[in-house]
Amino acid sequence: MIKQLDNLFVLESKNTTYAFHVLETGHLEHLYYGKKIQINSSLEAVSLVEKRVVLAGNAVYYNDENKSLGLEDVCLEMSSYGKGDIREPFIEVTHADGSYTSDFLFEKAEIRQGKKPLETLPSSYEENNRVDELVITLKDKNYDLTLELTYSVFLDHDVITRSSKIINTSKDKITLQRLMSNQIDFNDNDYIFTSFHGAWAREMKKHDVPVGPYKLVNESVCGCSSNRANPFVMLSRKTTSEDTGECYGFNLVYSGNHYECVEVGAFGKTRFIGGINPTNFEFHLEPNENFEAPEAVMTYSNQGFNGMSQNMHEFVRECIVRGTWKKKTRPVLLNSWEASYFDINEKKLLNLAKAGKDVGIELFVMDDGWFGARDNDTKGLGDWTANKKKLPQGIAGLAKKVNALGLDFGIWVEPEMVNVDSDLYRTHPEWTMEIPNKPHSESRNQRILDFANPEVVEYMTKQMENVFSAGNIAYVKWDMNRIFSDVYSQYLPATKQKEVSHRYIMGVYKMLESLNKTFPDILFEGCASGGNRFDLGMLCYFPQIWASDDSDAIYRVEAQTNYSYGYPMSTVGAHVSDCPNHQTLRKTPIATRFTVASFGVLGYECHLGEMSKEDLKEIKTQIEIYKKYREVLQFGTFYRTRSGNMYEWSCVSKDKSKAVGMITQLLFNPNTSYETYTPKGLKPNSKYHFTNRQLEFNLKEFGSLVNQVSPIHIKQNGVLHNVASSFIKMKGEKEDFITIGDILMQGVKLKQGFGATGYADDIRFFQDFYSRMYFMEEIEERLLENKG
């Protein structure tokens, strides 16, 4: 609900309130964002308003009528540069006279119902239109410019989104240097700023930095939202824990260069701004033209990081992801990449698919290498016709044969890129992003197509239409394998080169919009060398994204934990791969590879045809377990409990009747044999059947210790050892009991673990990189009236 009370605006979501008012000068003073409070009149907000009598020393006062107003020390809803506020501005414009001072003041407000989509960029939506919007129009009377700030309050979610639009209502050309999407000024600076950084194969490393008298910047100039710095960030209190305390989460519905900055000004207030990165950005606006900044998403919770994450998860699932696959459980896929890389042909692919079918795979995906002269990454990219040597009957023929095995068929594409050694580049060298007659810096031997050029967008959309309709295609993996360099559009004039990065992503969105419409039933999975473009913009078109090329479970348990702060697990593609892992050469038990991957959208990416019978049996069981709990794992409420040496997660079905949990350990600590798993989110008064995934262990894992129990001496790796290990399996512990949800949530004391001495039946064998899955099923209706 949005209330206008005189000059005061109060925005209320389910559990939060956001308030600001218009100062006499016309500036918007931010008053409050936090837990829900009742404000029923402007007078009641008096305690939230700063009382100004005299100006701080050495500060700039706004004007002669307002000598106590120094904008540098005011919490503002938006700030422009030049009138005394020297903190990070919301907007920067260079005017026709060369000045770059702006002063946007309140003109009018409109409250409306329903969510209006952005015109030029993807944006959130609400199926039941349970959104109220406030549009504030501001005017810079000195230069005749109009700025609109839109606030969308999602009534059933604790999310407020913001967007902004500048309209050149003047008679002159202007140059926009920056237009942010979000600004929120906090009264104090007792915060921790959390951001997520990394690189290829090590995406989403979490960094917590105390906010202080400096600027903290999280940004991408990669051309994509990037694995270097994800656009999702948080501000929390020093004492905030997973389940208690205050936390703000911020994200941007945008896939290009982004910028999030936290700055503490000279007077101790904290400013957060977020939007398109102003570095190398400019947009020229002729009279009557406008520019729209992407939609920013914010949420607040006083229920700790989990509370904030759950707000974000629900918002992403309900208001970002759309189309056929929004609520549909996702198939278990098998991807050909790590099994064969570029070395594919129909026979090999069909053998792999067949092995997949035997263990319960539902969708077979042919990755890179199927088109043009694509035998390696130096050539063929851009030529989107099937290589007849590899696929004699084309896509249609292979799809048909895969379908005949009882599997759906999916395909890999990378439409935004081209190899110089390709027919497309030879025909259209002017279609790439490169500076004519200057040396080019290449990455993965490929160049970026100029999606700032509408002709390229149109051509590639057509090409993709041809590919996606060339056979029975149920799934598309959309890859993008390099960051920008030599940014230049051969289509745009010299004056517009700083518009290229933004125009590029608008071109990509245009193509995706059109392909989503033409192929509504295809399940699209985004990918950019893994998680190089994992953001809310992409999630408007792709219900899931391949989170990292690194499928090592020990890396993934950390990465998926960190993705989970801002993104629901239904958006995170996660695969079980071969051992040793191809990215880390680490050896991790197959059960752990599954445990970790199963909390995302499960897939397999390994050489099933060359796996041991034992591993294939294990995979078959894994897929059965996943199918049984898939709905919970993909769409349940996700909780983090522990991170560090031990990771602990729980996922609870919407109706709380089922839950799945896991613990995964990095390194074993001797003589620490007791461990607890603590479920969350269960019905306190219901009875649950608690079980674990009981595992079996290979005798060889006990090394020469086996001689402590064996009647005859067993030589390590000798014949006897090998024979015995293939027949004798060591049964792991079994957890199986019934108790009440509330009791379970106090922590389940697990069976004793192997702690360096002694081994007996029912000992929890839990060494380096081991994990366990736990299952909770409600067995009867509430025992007592559920007051919780």
337 binds ligand DGJ (CB under 6 A): yes
- Tracing tokens 């599954």 back to the chain, one arrives at 594
Given the residues 549, 550, 552, 578, the one annotated as active site: 549
Choose, from 479, 550, 552, 578, the residue flagged as catalytic. Answer: 479
Our answer to whether residue 768 is catalytic in this structure is no
- The interface mask with ligand DGJ, positions 677-716, x = CB under 6 A, is ----------------------------------------
Closer of 73 and 368 to ligand DGJ (Cβ): 368
Please identify, using beta-carbon distances, which residue of 259 and 337 lies nearer to ligand DGJ: 337
Under 8 Å between Cβ of 766 and 589: no
76, 264, 527, 557: which one binds ligand DGJ (CB under 6 A): 527
| CA–CA gap between residue 556 and residue 181 (Å, rounded) | 32
Q: How far apart are CA 586 and CA 182, in angstroms?
A: 42
SS3 of 162, please?
Answer: strand
* Distance of closest approach, residue 217 Cβ to ligand DGJ, in angstroms: 27
Sign of the C-alpha dihedral computed for residues 738, 741, 742 and 746 taken in this order: positive
Rounded alpha-carbon distances, angstroms, from residue 426 to 373, 414, 422? 14, 18, 6
**Could you say which DSSP state residue 527 is in?**
-
Residue whose CB is less far from ligand DGJ, 371 or 635: 371
Smallest separation, CB 253 to ligand DGJ (Å)? 23
Any contact of residue 336 with ligand DGJ (CB under 6 A)? no
CB of 638 to ligand DGJ, least distance (A): 24
Window of 1-9, 49-57, 460-468, 524-532 that interacts with ligand DGJ by CB under 6 A: 524-532
The residue among 85 and 338 lying less far from ligand DGJ, judged by its C-beta, is 338
**Cα–Cα dist 407/334, whole Å:** 10
| Choices 242-250, 416-424, 523-531, 615-623; region in contact with ligand DGJ by CB under 6 A | 523-531
| Minimum separation from the CB atom of position 603 to ligand DGJ (A) | 11
Give the SS3 label for residue 270.
strand
Q: Smallest distance, Å, CB 328 to ligand DGJ?
A: 23
Helices 394-404 and 346-359: crossing angle in degrees, nearest 10, is 30
Q: Does 381 bind ligand DGJ (CB under 6 A)?
A: no
Closest CB 225 distance from ligand DGJ, rounded Å: 15
Nearest one of 310, 380, 391, 376 to 343, comparing CA atoms: 376
Specify which residues 408 forms β-bridges with: 363
Per-residue contact flags (x/-) with ligand DGJ for residues 21 to 60, judged by CB under 6 A: ----------------------------------------
Q: Can 549 be counted among the known catalytic residues?
A: yes
Total residues interacting with ligand DGJ, rule: CB under 6 A: 11
Tokens, residue 242 = 């997973």
Residue whose entry in the numeric block shows the structure tokens 């394998």: 481
Q: How far apart are CA 391 and CA 398, in angstroms?
A: 7
Asked if residue 605 lies in contact with residue 332, where contact means CB atoms within 8 angstroms, the answer is no
Strand 333-335 and strand 363-366: pairing? parallel
Residue closer to ligand DGJ, measured from CB, 19 or 413 = 413
Quote the least distance from Cβ 538 to ligand DGJ, whole Å: 14
Q: Which listed residue (72, 126, 282, 368) binds ligand DGJ by CB under 6 A? A: 368
- Longest CA–CA span in the chain (Å) reads 98
Is residue 594 classed as helix, strand or coil in its secondary structure? helix
Cis peptide before 287 (omega within 30 of 0): no
Q: x/- string (CB under 6 A) for ligand DGJ, residues 432-471?
A: ----------------------------------------
522 vs 527 by CB, closer to ligand DGJ: 527
CB-based contacts of 683, cutoff 8 Å, min separation 6: 656, 741, 778, 782, 786, 788
Give the nearest distance from C-beta 433 to ligand DGJ in angstroms. 19
Subset of residues 176 to 205 that bind ligand DGJ, contact rule: CB under 6 A: none
Which residues, at least 6 apart from 688, have a Cβ–Cβ distance to it below 8 Å?
659, 682, 738, 739, 740, 741, 744, 776, 777, 778, 779
Q: Which is nearer to ligand DGJ, 262 or 352 (CB)?
A: 352
The CA distance from 575 to 597, in Å, is 6
Q: Shortest approach of ligand DGJ to residue 337 CB, angstroms?
A: 5
Q: Where are the beta strands (DSSP E) in 631-735?
A: 637-642, 646-652, 658-665, 676-677, 687-692, 696-698, 729-731
Nearer to ligand DGJ, 400 or 444 (CB): 444
User: How far apart are CB 633 and ligand DGJ at their closest, in Å?
Assistant: 22
Q: Mask 237-256, x = binds ligand DGJ (CB under 6 A)?
A: --------------------
Nearest distance in Å: CB 733, ligand DGJ: 36
3-state secondary structure of 565: helix
**Rounded to whole angstroms, how far apart are CA atoms 682 and 307?**
15
Query: Among 163, 481, 560, 641, which residue interacts with ligand DGJ (rule: CB under 6 A)?
Result: 481
Contact stretch for ligand DGJ (CB under 6 A) within 46-54, 142-150, 180-188, 526-534: 526-534
Tell me whether residue 176 or residue 333 sits nearer to ligand DGJ (CB atom): 333
* Residue choice 29, 362, 499, 549 for contact with ligand DGJ (CB under 6 A): 549
Query: Could you tell me which stretch among 2-10, 345-353, 415-423, 525-533 binds ligand DGJ (CB under 6 A)?
Result: 525-533
Rounded least distance, CB 356 to ligand DGJ, Å: 17
| Cβ distance to ligand DGJ smaller for residue 553 or 695 | 553
Restricted to residues 569-598, the positions that interact with ligand DGJ (CB under 6 A) are: none
Rg of the Cα atoms in the chain: 28
Segment interacting with ligand DGJ, rule: CB under 6 A, options 147-155, 522-530, 614-622, 709-717: 522-530
Structural tokens at position 99: 């000045």
Q: Name residues contacting ligand DGJ, limited to 297-316 (CB under 6 A).
A: none
Q: How far is the CB of 510 from ligand DGJ (least distance, A)?
A: 23
**Inter-residue contact 333 to 667 (CB < 8 Å):** no
CA dist 25 → 60, 64, 145, 359 (Å): 15, 11, 17, 69
Q: Rounded to whole angstroms, how far apart are CA atoms 535 and 505? A: 13
Based on CB atoms, which residue is closest to ligand DGJ, 560 or 725? 560
The whole-angstrom separation of Cα 233 and Cα 243 is: 18
**DSSP class of residue 229?**
B
The yes or no reply on residue 529 touching ligand DGJ (CB under 6 A) is yes
**Pattern 142-181, binding to ligand DGJ, x per CB under 6 A?**
----------------------------------------
DSSP for residue 582 = T
Rounded distance, CA 182 to CA 252, Å? 9
Contact 549, 529 (CB under 8 A): yes
Q: Which residue is nearest to ligand DGJ (CB)?
A: 368
| Residue nearer to ligand DGJ on the CB measure, 337 or 475 | 337
Among 191, 364, 384, 412, binds ligand DGJ (CB under 6 A): 412
Rounded Cα distance, 350 and 289, in Å: 54
Q: Give the angle 248-252-258 at the CA atoms, nearest 5°.
A: 110
- Binding-site member from 223, 323, 530, 589 for ligand DGJ (CB under 6 A): 530
Q: Which is nearer to ligand DGJ, 337 or 766 (CB)?
A: 337
Given 367, 499, 648, 675, the residue binding ligand DGJ (CB under 6 A): 367
> Sheet holding 771-780: strands in order across?
637-642, 646-652, 658-665, 771-780, 687-692, 736-740
- Give the catalytic positions in this structure: 479, 549
What is the binding site for ligand DGJ (CB under 6 A)? 337, 367-368, 412, 479, 481, 527, 529-530, 546, 549
